[in-house]
Amino acid sequence: MSASQHFFLVIEGLDGTGKSEVSRHLARMLRTTIGERVLLTFEPHDPSAAGLFIRQALTQRIKTSSRALALAYALNRVDHNERAIQPFLDAEGARVVICDRYYLSSLVYQSSASQSMEAVLALNAAARRPDLTLFLAASPQTCYERIRARAGDRELFDSSLAAMRTRYDEAIAFLRARGEAIIEVSAEGDLPTVLNRTIDTLRAHGPAWLDMQRILMAEFHPDLDMEADVRIDYPGMIAALTADLLPIADKGALKSAMNELKKRVTAEIERMSAAQLGALLLLELESAGYQRGERLPWTDAIAYALEFPLPAVGLTQRGVLLLMREPGRYGAITRKLQQLANENANLGLLADFAVVLDPAPLQSPPAFQYRRDFSPRLFPNTRIVGRADLLTYLWSTVSAQFIATLDQPLHAAAHALVMAL
């Protein structure tokens, strides 16, 4: 481990071993000790180059060769490194990147009799080497049971798990012979047990500064943040954001106060959890006339039915609100939409739109690829909402209420500052 205190951790394993859950909980636990200097990411990386092509191949929308898919993954990985992983690790402070899958998976799934592991690895020569790879190991029976539990969440590579395990063993040996640190962790048992095994492995093989404590079974609450029906005390939030900014006597003091208010609103949006962002989005939607319906049984996103009444024409548009657990995982939504389409060919007549919350940090690249990949028959109108959109909403509301407290002669100057900030 270098003195820079940067740690690049990869979580690998067969489909159904719980890679995504383990990765998500590890990231959440680390954030309690080192704050936001933890990046949870994944591959294929949907927001990066070639992500759309890969997802279309994985969901069997298009047919392609192992060579083409290997090239797509390599391009996706280089872009993922250059725009997400490397800039994050290069920033100041002790930092951790946790990546759900990496080039070990490419060696397993894209190598073939005509395309060796050496050839696949050569395509990925520009990819940063992980500091440590953890391979979650579970029996094919365990994996199949978990896959069946998340009905509809199947991709091209979910079959022949016993054969895939043999391929993983070969790929792990291949990379270990080249000096890579790869540790196997048993993924049998419940999630807290697997997490504690993972934590024990990181404490033994990770950097000394990585402070992780084993979890207590009685205190473990899986996905507590996203499962809770979070409510926001909106008046209380606005009062806290505007506290100590009054009184204001002139335009100079007004400008300083408005700058401070914008900083507070931005910090508030940046610190919000995915669940809190979802609660704020629901407030915005309700203020615009949307009505939230029942919770939908989805696994990769918190989902609600939405309605938008059109009383003037006697119609009601129906759609869905998706609160994503993790930034950028549009592939999970694509797979679910495909399942819904297969189950009900007439669903397109009942669902007119989708609103998707992506909880990525404010400085993340804007999401765009999957707007055109959502099935048009299901959701012809798809709106992806991020922190920047909610910042605009909150800033508009907070600034308007703040201006209402000012003396009338300052209103025009304050409105001009709202537009400028």
> pLDDT tens digit string along 102-145?
999 999 999 998 999 999 999 999 999 999 999 999 998 888 88
Confidence of residue 184 (pLDDT cuts 50, 70, 90): very high
Q: Which of 154-168, 272-286, 337-351 has the lowest mean pLDDT?
A: 337-351
pLDDT in tens, 411-420: 999 999 999 9
Confidence of residue 33 (pLDDT cuts 50, 70, 90): confident
d(CA 420, CA 387) in angstroms, rounded, equals: 19
* Domain boundaries defined on the chain: 6-222, 228-421
Nearest CA to 266 out of 387, 88, 92 is that of 387
Strands 291-296 and 301-310: antiparallel
Examine the pLDDT at 2 and tell me if it is beyond 50: no
Supply the DSSP symbol for 85: I
pLDDT in tens, 146-176: 877 664 445 545 558 888 999 999 999 999 9
pLDDT in tens, 286-307: 999 999 988 877 656 688 888 9
Strands 182-186 and 95-100: unpaired
Examine the pLDDT at 347 and tell me if it is beyond 70: no
> In 3-state terms, what secondary structure has residue 380?
coil
Average pLDDT over residues 229-251: 86
Domain 228-421 sits in CATH at 3.40.91
The amino acid at residue 70 is: A
Average pLDDT of the chain?
Answer: 84
Structure tokens at 155: 């991709």
pLDDT on residue 298: 66
- Residues 6+ positions from 369 with CB-CB distance below 8 Å: 46, 47, 51, 52, 330
Considering the domain delimited by 6-222, tell me its CATH architecture.
3-Layer(aba) Sandwich (3.40)
Q: Which of 186-190, 198-202, 205-209, 377-381 has the lowest mean pLDDT?
A: 377-381
pLDDT in tens, 60-87: 778 898 899 999 999 999 999 998 899 9
Confidence of residue 366 (pLDDT cuts 50, 70, 90): low
Supply the DSSP symbol for 13: E
Contact 304, 296 (CB under 8 A): yes
Look-up of token digits 């000012």: 406
Q: Which residues pair with 316 in a beta bridge?
A: 309
